[in-house]
Amino acid sequence: MKTATLLMLCLSAAAWAERPELSASFGFASELMTSSQYDLVSADDPLRMYRVAAAGTFAAPRGHVDVELGWRSGAASATAHGTLSSSLWVRGVDVSAGYRFAWLKHLEPYARAGVGLDWASLSLTGSSALEQTVLHPSGTFLGGLQFPFALGVGAPGGLAFVVDLGVGYVVRPAYTFDALAPPPPSGRQEDPIARGAVNLGSMPLSGFTWRLGVTVRL
């Protein structure tokens, strides 16, 4: 997928000389975590995330290439074992490239691939508070439809409002939470007692995803 994206970027090399069309987007994504381990932090399967991104669009044969830089954040929480408050925060940055073409006036299918870096923070609060943050790379593969609506009376390619609906898959290595420990005490503490860590195990965080977003093309 990455190779295909690079190929598309090369094919549109001529377009790079032109000023890219810029866009900003905001969207909601739901990643479906079907592993039993995810039940520790959620009563259902989705990991709900919000995402903001900025993109540059370049002309390509029969369509456009979007190069996007995004930031996403989401969380799930639940009560575990009847006594613990458990929560999982996932935050990440990603860079993606996608190809889209105009099929109808208001319909642009697209395919997109991206790589990112995600931080997952697991915290358990019972008689004490334990937490651990683990960092891993991620990959996202999406296909979907964009519904552009021109704003104003300018020529095509001017200011536009776009509704984006995509489905795909997010790949992450399993996150190993092997050292959940209380957070370090705030402030200076006299003669503190060292705290040990708990090895909880691994939580798979890959799964199908769908996105719904809005984009403003400048």
Partner 1 sequence: MRRLLPLLVLAACGTRGSLYTSPLKPLPLVATQGALVQVVPQTNRAVVVTGTTPYTQTVTLSSGARAAVAVPGTDTVAVLTGAPKAPTLDLVDVAGLSATVLETPGFFDTVTFSPDGRFGLLTYVAAARGGQLVARNLNEVGLLDTASLSLRRLQLDTESLAPRSVVFGPVEGARRLVAVTLERGVAVLDALHPEVPTRRISVRPQGSTGDTPVLEAVFSRDAHWLFLRVSGQDDVVAVELGSEVGAPVSASVNFVAGGRGLADIETAPEGTDDAVLAVYASSKEAFLLDARGIQDNHRRLSLTDVAAHVARMTGTTVLLWNEGSRTVTAWDVKDGRSGVVALDGVASAPLVVPALDKALFPLPQVSSSAGTGPALATVSLTDDTNRVRLHLQGVQLAQAFAASAYDAQGQRLFFSVAGSSTVVSMDLRTLQLVELALDATPQRLFYLPGTDLVAADHGALLGDVTFAPAGTSDRAGALRLSDFALSGDLQRPEDAR
**Footprint of partner 1 (CB under 8 A):** 30, 32, 34, 36-37, 39-40, 42-46, 78, 80-84, 86, 124, 126-128, 130, 145, 165, 167, 177-180, 182, 191-203, 208, 210
Min CB(193)–partner 1 separation in Å: 5
Judged by CB, which is closer to partner 1: 42, or 57?
Answer: 42
Q: Which residues of 174-210 are buried (b: 16+ CB within 10 A; e: fewer)?
A: ebebeebeeeeeeeeeeeeeeeeeeebeebebbbebb
* Helix/strand/coil for 9: helix
Min CB(217)–partner 1 separation in Å: 22
Min CB(109)–partner 1 separation in Å: 11
Judged by CB, which is closer to partner 1: 153, or 194?
Answer: 194
Judged by CB, which is closer to partner 1: 9, or 37?
Answer: 37
CA distance linking residue 6 with residue 12, whole number of Å = 10
CA distance linking residue 72 with residue 94, whole number of Å = 8
CA angle 89, 90, 93 (to 5 degrees): 145
Judged by CB, which is closer to partner 1: 126, or 137?
Answer: 126
Min CB(196)–partner 1 separation in Å: 4
CA distance linking residue 185 with residue 191, whole number of Å = 12
